[in-house]
């Protein structure tokens, strides 16, 4: 275990604060309440060299130590990932559907980054690149990567403050005639999404399929999938929130992160990254329309 910062001494003004409150207010290494909570749980934030609970009351002269517990580099997973943008501080990759971003598995994006990205030469280079956010396993598309400590902190702040614009595309079951602003809460937390129809085609099985653009204004787990289902138009291929009879065998989820707009965490330049939709999107719409036109008169 390697100490990366041990200079936080509790002053009289902070006597009686809870550890999590102090960390949220004064530890620049963490950018959100969620980040602090996870760090304490993992044992990254210690009090007097001890692992304690976030609710522990601090006393004057307590020493807060931040330790790096990720000392073993991830075993490299040698899969080629499309690198859409890369410099010495950040990168953007196109994650394929079916690949988990990180976790206790070998075949993850995290483990594949060392195979695809160049090591940063910056003084605060991370030991290995780190995803700055997450995409569901079955969701494809743009994923932002931090390569330095400062980039990771600044990107975390940007996501927390909703300064990064994420745009998705999906195929919904049914005909969505007009844009929908959805504010259905998820896990009793406020949640907001905008779903805008782009085009629709007739379908023998589903009557209609609609290609849409989706903008999440909050970041709840499965937010776009839940919101689509709540308005009666689940995403095609959604085994969790869709209807069993409407799942296409071996076709996966028709949801992709197609665009990211953000300020570069180091130089402040506006970065806009956009990709083409997966070919399965256009093929599915074309196949559905062709089959409908072929058999509708029979």
Tens of pLDDT, residue by residue over 54-68, are: 999 999 888 888 876
Specify the CATH number for the domain of residue 25.
3.10.290.10
8-27: average pLDDT = 86
The predicted pLDDT at position 33 comes to: 82
Tokens 């907001």 found at: 192
Question: Is 76 in the same domain as 151?
Answer: yes
What single DSSP character describes residue 6?
E
**In the listed set 68, 99, 114, which residue is the last one of a domain according to the structure?**
68
- Overall size of the chain counted in residues: 298
Tokens of 243: 């209807």
Specify the CATH number for the domain of residue 84.
3.30.2350.10
> Cα–Cα distances in Å, from 19 out to 25, 62, 93, 157?
10, 11, 36, 20
Question: Is 186 in the same domain as 109?
Answer: no
In a domain, 32, yes or no: yes
Tokens of 291: 């089959």
CA angle 84, 86, 90 (to 5 degrees): 115
In a domain, 42, yes or no: yes
In a domain, 82, yes or no: yes
In a domain, 268, yes or no: no
Domain count, the chain: 3
Residue 45, beta-bridge partner list: 66
pLDDT tens, 206-223? 899 999 999 999 989 999
In a domain, 219, yes or no: yes
The predicted pLDDT at position 297 comes to: 57
pLDDT confidence of 298, banded at 50, 70, 90? low
Parent domain of 18: 2-68
Question: Is 206 in the same domain as 291?
Answer: yes
Known catalytic residues are 136
In a domain, 271, yes or no: no
φ/ψ of residue 275, rounded to 5: -125, 160
Question: Is 157 in the same domain as 100?
Answer: yes
What single DSSP character describes residue 244?
G
Residue pair 65/46 in contact by the 8 Å Cβ criterion:
yes
In a domain, 267, yes or no: no
pLDDT confidence of 28, banded at 50, 70, 90? low
63-81: average pLDDT = 82
Question: Is 150 in the same domain as 190?
Answer: no
Tokens of 146: 């931090």
In a domain, 179, yes or no: yes
């Amino acid at each position: 275990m390697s100490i990366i910062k041990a200079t936080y001494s509790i002053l009289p003004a902070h006597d009686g604060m809870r550890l999590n409150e102090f960390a949220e207010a004064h530890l620049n290494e963490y950018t959100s309440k969620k980040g602090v909570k996870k760090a304490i749980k993992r044992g990254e934030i210690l009090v007097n060299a001890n692992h304690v609970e976030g609710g522990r009351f601090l006393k004057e002269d307590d020493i807060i130590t931040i330790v790096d517990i990720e000392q073993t580099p991830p075993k490299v997973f040698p899969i080629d990932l499309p690198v859409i943008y890369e410099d010495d501080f950040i990168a953007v990759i196109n994650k394929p559907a079916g690949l988990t971003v990180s976790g206790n598995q070998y075949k993850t994006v995290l483990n594949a980054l060392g195979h695809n990205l160049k090591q940063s030469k910056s003084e605060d280079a991370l030991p290995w690149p780190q995803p700055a956010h997450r995409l569901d396993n079955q969701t494809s598309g743009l994923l932002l990567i931090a390569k330095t400590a400062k980039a990771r902190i600044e990107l975390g702040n940007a996501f927390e403050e909703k300064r990064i614009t994420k745009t998705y595309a999906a195929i919904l079951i049914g005909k969505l005639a007009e844009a929908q602003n959805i504010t259905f809460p998820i896990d009793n937390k406020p949640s907001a999404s905008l779903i805008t129809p782009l085009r629709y085609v007739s379908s023998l099985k589903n009557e209609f399929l609609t290609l849409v653009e989706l903008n999440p204004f909050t970041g709840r787990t499965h937010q776009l999938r839940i919101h689509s289902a709540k308005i009666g138009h689940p995403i095609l291929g959604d085994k969790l929130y869709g209807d069993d009879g409407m799942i296409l065998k071996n076709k996966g989820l028709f949801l992709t992160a197609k665009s990211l707009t953000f300020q570069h965490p180091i130089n402040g330049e506006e970065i806009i990254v956009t990709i083409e939709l997966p070919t399965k999107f256009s093929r599915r719409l074309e196949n559905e329309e062709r089959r409908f036109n072929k058999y509708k008169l029979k």
